[in-house]
Amino acid sequence: MSIDASLDLARDSSLFHSMPIGILRLSAKDAWKVIVDLRATEKRSGAFELNQDVSCALGNACLIAEANPSACVLLQVKDPAAIAKAPIASILSEDTLKRFTEGLHQLFRGQNAIVYDGSLTIVGGGEHQVAFNLWQTQREVAQDDIYLSFSSLRERISLEQAKDGLQSDLARSARVSLLGEMTASIAHEVNQPLGTIVASAEAGLRWLSRDEPDIAEVKLLLERITKNGKRAANVIATMRALASNKKSERLPTDINSVIEETILLLRTDFAKRQVTLRLDLSPTLPPVKADKTQILQVIVNLALNAAQAMADGQAWNRTLCIRTRRDGADVMVDVEDSGPGIDLHVRERLFESFFSTKETGIGMGLAICRSIIEAHGSRIELQSTPHLGARFSFALPAEHAQTNG
């Protein structure tokens, strides 16, 4: 709220009572004394800390002088007199009280207004998420009065939750679309071990049907069946992860294992497009804090796009390199191809929604990849040289191991 508006509130009580947002007029006279004493201690000891004890002292020294009707509605108070002279600490959660007292100190030092989000404790129990605005009128108008306004965040939180839900649905649709693109490759990756399982089982039956069964040979065949059964199960598990609609969850993740799962899905596609895969995975990487399914989606998308670009561009040396490396506190992932590169005018729009260089593409893959990596606190970097290929890189925060000491 502007200083002019706060002056009007101080001079015109009808404006204070008619405002559609909750407003409390607070008496900060005793709170100012507490801050003065603390600052004197600071000068003597060189230390000033707004710890929990200080927050409680300031919160109890700052009293509610008046509440407008909108504030009473949010606090579920029928009679404003019920909270008159109550300390502000009585209606603020512990975390919010700390933000309030930090704002109070900033007001004392001359700042005009402080804005923050927090929780309002409803009289009778419960909390309400609100946006706070703390300010003071000019000292010559009301020296000891400060104002705290608040408005509900429910609508904003609902909109943010709806937005997150739509982004999650869109990302899942893109993953399912990816699976559709890879249907033939995935079918081959499942059929191949299944074929080996059937052939091994038939051979094992023949060895057992002999007059003198060869148990050692049957054992080898059973081990082959187990190995190929696990291989098919891994492919199906990876497919299910991509098609799942579970809530995003960031956990310690081995990035190299995510890349190995990517290869499980794309190996046949690479062979069909005559793409040579080169893995350069650092063996000493710490886990990263990430949503495994989302990062799998990003790497599959980037690798598949690179393979398609090399095949469509008819590159004679079709090499795809996926690299992991340490970069300070982060783990870097590079997906690099030897294709035709990306034109400058295409590069400028590459991550836009609904922009695609493919005739049948809908242009959401890279846009969703970008939003996933940005949600992980990073960004996708692109380096491209005409006729020499392109490299997409992104960083993920390393999950630092907890040590006892």
Q: Quick check: 75 and 91 in contact, CB under 8 A?
A: yes
Element of type H or E holding 122: none
For the domain 160-397, what is the CATH code? Answer: 3.30.565.10
Q: pLDDT by residue (tens digit) across 74-127?
A: 888 888 888 888 898 888 888 888 888 888 888 888 787 888 888 888 767 778
Residue 362 confidence (pLDDT) above 60: no
Three-class HEC string of 57-113:
HHHHHCEEEEECHHHHHHHCCCCHHHCCCCEHHHHECHHHHHHHHHHHHHHHCCCCE
What is the residue-averaged pLDDT of the chain?
A: 78
Residue 6 confidence (pLDDT) above 50: no
The CA distance from 58 to 104, in Å, is 8
- CATH of 3-152, picked from 3.10.129.10, 3.40.980.10, 3.40.50.10860, 3.30.450.20, is 3.30.450.20
Q: pTM of the full predicted structure?
A: 0.49
The CA distance from 16 to 69, in Å, is 9
3-state secondary structure of 248: coil
CATH 3.30.450.20 intervals, the chain: 3-152
Mean pLDDT, residues 345-351 taken together: 70
pLDDT of residue 235: 72
Stretch among 127-136, 170-179, 222-231, 342-351 having the lowest mean pLDDT: 170-179
Query: If pLDDT is split at 50, 70 and 90, which confidence band does 404 have?
Result: very low
Q: Quick check: 300 and 273 in contact, CB under 8 A?
A: no
Higher per-residue confidence, 365 vs 85: 85
Mean pLDDT, residues 37-51 taken together: 66
The CA distance from 102 to 334, in Å, is 43
Residue 177 confidence (pLDDT) above 80: no
CATH 3.30.565.10 intervals, the chain: 160-397
The CA distance from 362 to 357, in Å, is 9
Q: Quick check: 59 and 89 in contact, CB under 8 A?
A: yes
pLDDT of residue 140: 45
Residue 165 confidence (pLDDT) above 70: no
Task: Give the whole-number percent of the chain exceeding pLDDT 90.
Answer: 11
